[in-house]
Amino acid sequence: MAAKIRDVRHGTGVQGQVSQSRWLRRTGAARLEFGADYNPEQWPREVWDDDARAMRTAGVTIVTLGVFSWALLEPAEGEYDFGWLDDAMDLMHVNGIAVDLATATASPPPWLTTKHPEILPVTADGVTLWPGGRQQWRPTSAVFRTHALRLTRAMAERYGGHPALVAWHVSNELGCHNIYDYSDDAAAAFRLWLRERYATLDALNAAWATAFWSQHLSAWEQVLPPRTAASFPNPTQQLDFKRFSSDALKDHLRAERAVLREVTPDVPVTTNFMVMGETKGMNYADWAAEVDFVSNDHYVQPGPQGRDELSFSANLTGGLAGGRPWFLMEHSTSAVNWQPVNVAKRPGELARDSMTHVAYGADAVCYFQWRQSAAGAEKYHSGMIPHAGEDSTLFRAVADLGKRLGDLAPLAGTPRTPARAAILFDWESWWAAEADSHPTDRLRYRQEALDWYTAFLDLGVRADVLPVAAPLDGYDLVVAPILHVVPASLASRLTAFVQAGGHLVATYFSGVVDENDHVWLGGYPGPLRDLLGIRIEEFAPLLDDERVTLDNGSTGTLWTDRIDVSTEDVEVLARYTTGDQAGRPAVTWNPTAGGAAGYVSTRLGPQGLATVLGEFLSRAGIESELPPDQRGKVELAIRGDFHFLINRTDEPIDLGGYLLAADGVVVVRE
């Protein structure tokens, strides 16, 4: 890479043409936003002026206000107390800080849950989730909806013209605690949703395969959410309930958005997604089109793949945003409060984490929260100002980052530069593959996808993480880990991709069921059989302590398949040498007209995957864009002219004259 390295941490910034990010249109500024959730209501008024001053010191450009303010904004039904929020909004404005204003509907106030306990969610076991925490509302409650929309309207009317307002923030992390509600409201709404999907009871009976276990439904009233049952609830009922639950919250988002667009048509609307870890209830691929710009919250999970998981999530968020810039609404400066052990970030990690999000398209870097709470359940969650105050290593690191992001203003609005390889991510396969009554309950969809991502990083090759419906043109290699649910239309799309010269790789338990979770018959993997040139008669999952070896030196766990290759053209890239499948194919490659399709039948983990991926990449003609000595150690992400080099190791790396610190990220402008 012929590049002059510029250390933007100390540089004067770079100049260039940028397009303006959508949420900035009211401020007219082209910059990377920097800020946090700001909860002034937790502090005496005199602290607020100090907050504003310290925000300016830190380079804060935007705050989110009002996320959990309902009880203070509407202390009694229909009676509003906006005075304090007016004051906070004005204070931000006079200090040049923009506001992403929450609709404040995330957590209903005690008066509402006391008057209307019928809005409280109910678990699959019939347990009511009581007030005292947060987000205690049923997505399908008409009563809740009425109250939430009334507040949304009041907020829009009050603040729509405020000069600090740049975006609306609908509710907060929709579905964080209330994604699955099994109440009677949910049952009624589920029936309506099913009527829309299937139209007739016959069609529903067919889709749910109710001939099984005496489940035939003879009236719509008999349909229920999959409440805790005597045995495994119907699998398609479970899958449809997941779809319905995601849609129910999406419907809430749309309902608040409709009010906001009616009252303030010029103010963009977002809601913060949770593309992170095992949060899987909301199908964000389906939600992304509902917001004016995609926002995400991300918290690092400790562990060997913690950094890669952050990168994966940021990359997928970029994929949801269609490659355009997006808004990092929350992450943490240091420890959180909700993991079993809440690890503090090491020096350098704060900036490294934030900059990795920027590398994958974030045009805003915001934290939860501005000032660490002194009381409440989140008092041990870090903030931009820690308990120790401004005279702290953490606050200095925050202010350094603010300066660095200021220098990177010319980056704002630059979309990511597509890679030549991609990993497909599919919420429905995630849901269906991890359902009960399967060959193994040990399978982890997202972990398999993450392992592939780590393998790409280990080889120094960029890969975009894309929702499964994304266009695949331009990609030379597409990996589809555990693509379990393959409707006929998806099979055709993948086949067309290969016929057009693309290289597709699928893994174990892919192509097994259709959209109704019905098995494709005639041998696995159903509609991908011809494309892959293999036929599997039986799955052969492994026990926890079982390992199998492959003749390429790797070790498989979790799963094996009994594979027969269908034609002589199919190359066996690796065979099992131990276990019940010894001598049979483990990894295959089928060159077909146009491109080729490969299959990996066991869980290889990042290291084993790097071996087979290296082979797939060379067959697809893809090489690392990094010099050989940096591959695996340095992570590369590209946004137009801006190349981000991220140190994946705990040691400094010599980039040829420039020493990239451990935890360091450098931005190079080509």
How far apart are the C-alpha atoms of 199 and 214, rounded to whole Å? 22
Cβ of residue 67: shortest distance to ligand GAL, in angstroms? 6
Residue whose entry in the numeric block shows the structure tokens 């700001």: 38
Query: What are the φ/ψ torsions at residue 618 (nearest 5 degrees)?
Result: -70, -35
Binding piece for ligand GAL, criterion CB under 6 A, among 56-64, 171-179, 560-568, 630-638 = 171-179
**How far is residue 261's CA from residue 160's CA, in Å, rounded to a whole number?**
10
- Using CB under 6 A as the binding rule, the residues of this chain from 295 to 324 that contact ligand GAL are 297, 299
Residue 343 binds ligand GAL (CB under 6 A): no
- Asked if the peptide bond before residue 225 counts as cis, ω within 30 degrees of 0, the response is no
Near ligand GAL by CB under 6 A, which window of 168-176, 451-459, 624-632, 649-657? 168-176
Q: How far is the CB of 377 from ligand GAL (least distance, A)?
A: 8
Q: Cβ closer to ligand GAL: 38 or 642?
A: 38
H, E, C per residue of 152-183: HHHHHHHHCCCCCEEEEECCCCCCCCCCCCCC
Decide: 35 and 97 in contact? Cβ < 8 Å.
yes
3-state class of 343 per DSSP? coil
368 near ligand GAL, rule: CB under 6 A: yes
* Site residue total, ligand GAL (CB under 6 A): 10
Is the distance from CB of 269 to CB of 257 less than 8 angstroms?
yes
Sorted by sequence, the CB contacts under 8 Å of residue 311 that are 6+ apart come out as 356, 359, 360, 453, 457, 635, 637, 646
What character string, x for contact with ligand GAL (CB under 6 A) and - otherwise, covers 248-287?
----------------------------------------
Q: Is 100 in the site for ligand GAL (CB under 6 A)?
A: no
**Binding ligand GAL by CB under 6 A: which of 1, 71, 149, 176?**
176
CB 412 within 8 A of CB 641: no
Nearer to ligand GAL by C-beta: 100 or 330? 330
Q: From the CB of 369, what's the least distance to ligand GAL, in Å?
A: 7
168 versus 299: smaller Cβ distance to ligand GAL = 299
579: number of Cβ within 10 Å:
17
Judged by phi (left if over 0) then psi (alpha if -120 to 50, else beta), residue 660 lies in beta
Identity of the residue, 41 or 378, whose beta carbon is nearer to ligand GAL in the bound complex: 378
Residue appearing with tokens 């001598």: 583
Cβ proximity of 145 and 170 under 8 Å: no
Per-residue CA distances from 11 to 108, 141, 397, 408 (Å): 47, 53, 17, 10
- Tell me phi and psi for residue 25, to 5 degrees: -65, -25
In the complex, what is the shortest distance from the CB of residue 330 to ligand GAL, in angstroms, rounded to a whole number?
Answer: 6
Cα-Cα-Cα-Cα dihedral of 294, 299, 300, 302, to 10°? Answer: -150
Minimum CB separation from ligand GAL for residue 270, in Å?
Answer: 13
Q: Is 409 in the site for ligand GAL (CB under 6 A)?
A: no
Catalytic residues: 173, 330
Residues 11-70 that bind ligand GAL (CB under 6 A): none
Q: How far is the CB of 301 from ligand GAL (least distance, A)?
A: 12
Residue 602's nearest CA partner among 622, 579, 621, 619 is 579
Question: In this complex, which beta carbon is closest to ligand GAL, that of residue 330 or of residue 561?
Answer: 330
Nearer to ligand GAL, 210 or 333 (CB): 333
With respect to ligand GAL, which residue has the nearer C-beta, 191 or 371? 371
Interface with ligand GAL (CB under 6 A), residue from 100, 173, 181, 308: 173
Closest to ligand GAL by CB, 106 or 472: 106
Q: Which is nearer to ligand GAL, 268 or 383 (CB)?
A: 383
Binding of ligand GAL by 381 (CB under 6 A): yes
CB of residue 337 to ligand GAL, shortest distance in Å: 7
Residue 345 CB, shortest distance to ligand GAL, in Å, is 13
Candidates 14, 143, 149, 336: give the one binding ligand GAL (CB under 6 A): 336
Say whether residue 353 binds ligand GAL (CB under 6 A). Answer: no
- Specify which residues 634 forms β-bridges with: 631, 647
At a CB cut-off of 8 Å and minimum separation 6, what does 299 contact? 276, 277, 330, 331, 332, 336
Span near ligand GAL by CB under 6 A; candidates 152-160, 170-178, 543-551, 635-643: 170-178
Query: Residue 172 interacts with ligand GAL (CB under 6 A)?
Result: yes
Site residues, ligand GAL (CB under 6 A): 172-173, 176, 297, 299, 330, 336, 368, 378, 381
